[in-house]
Amino acid sequence: MSRKNACSAEEAAGREVCTVLDVLGRVSGKWSLGVLSETTRGPVRFAELERSLNGISRRILTLTLRQLEENGLLTRTVYPTVPPKVEYTATDQARELYARLTGLTAWAARHSAAAPHADAP
Amino acid sequence: MSRKNACSAEEAAGREVCTVLDVLGRVSGKWSLGVLSETTRGPVRFAELERSLNGISRRILTLTLRQLEENGLLTRTVYPTVPPKVEYTATDQARELYARLTGLTAWAARHSAAAPHADAP
DNA sequence: CAGGATCCGCCACGATACTG
DNA sequence: CAGTATCGTGGCGGATCCTG
């Protein structure tokens, strides 16, 4: 979960790059996109995410959720029930961003290249 | 420069996520976007990049260039002159991808939120 | 000038145990 | 159930030195 991105220097034209870097930094975690994918479909509980994202550890899941929340991409709702219940939902901003990101698959489709094997009809 | 992204598991809906992850992985380096930014403007020499991207080390620059080249995002042209001369240029694929990525700044503009200070026009 | 070879520090990620 | 607290690890990135 990369946090800091001061965009320390680069050149003048780098302002744009800097912004892009910042945006990508907000979903930089290995599982961030997976979490967004799940939470975009509707409210999801912690344990659900833990199962959906097969292989993620509790710690990383927590950190990822916190990061996304900090960046205004996730809404955390706590139900003060006796066994705790917490739901996470993607914000509108997150949905927009996620849409733009999945839009990259269009690019990937047009250039299936460089892939280890690929398919190619 | 993260290379491997087996997208080991996740869930079914994760295919999309997997693809996005793969695309982002191709420009994952700390300086990859900076390099793309420069090479998109036209052919650039190694030393030029080294200066433009202030703070980058020779090794990382080389690795970044190699990665981008491997992924078909950069064209490497060697001129067999006596002092070596090598030029790097972004491919069309790279320009397309870079355009989509800079498109993220639009999103960032609409949600200046979460930034340390800033917001409210 | 362009880049290979080394050595090293740091941080994201992972595995596990414990708790309200 | 939903986390927090600890400890360990791999690999990216940085600093140099050397060469065709």
CA distance A105 to B21: 10
Q: Where are the domains of chain B?
A: 31-101
Distance from B109 to chain A by nearest Cα, in Å? 9
Low-confidence ranges of chain A (pLDDT < 70): 2-13, 113-121
Sign of the Cα torsion B34, B100, A104, B44 reads: negative
Percent of chain B with pLDDT over 70: 83
Q: Within its chain, how far is the Cα of A47 from the centroid?
A: 18
CB contact under 8 A, A23 and B52: no
CB contact under 8 A, A113 and B100: no
B49 interfaces chain A, CB cutoff of 8 Å: no
Q: How far is the CA of A58 from the C1' of C19 (A)?
A: 14
State the residue for tokens 């320390």: A8
CA distance A44 to A46: 7
Strand, helix or coil for residue B93: helix
Express each pLDDT in B25-76 by its tens digit.
Answer: 999 999 999 999 999 999 999 999 999 999 999 999 999 999 999 999 999 9
Q: What is the token pair recorded at B43?
A: 């052919």
Among the four given CATH numbers 3.30.70.20, 3.20.20.70, 1.20.58.220, 1.10.10.10, the one describing domain A31-101: 1.10.10.10
Per-residue model confidence (pLDDT) at position A13: 61
Q: How far is the CA of A16 from the C1' of D3 (A)?
A: 38
B99 interfaces chain A, CB cutoff of 8 Å: no
Per-residue model confidence (pLDDT) at position A119: 37
Q: Which of A117-121, B84-88, B99-103 has the lowest mean pLDDT?
A: A117-121
User: Strand C contacts (CB < 7 A) among A residues 31-90?
Assistant: 31, 55-60, 63-64, 83-84
Closest CA to A22 of B114, B17, B65: B114
Express each pLDDT in A14-44 by its tens digit.
Answer: 789 999 999 999 999 999 999 999 999 999 9
Per-residue model confidence (pLDDT) at position B8: 57
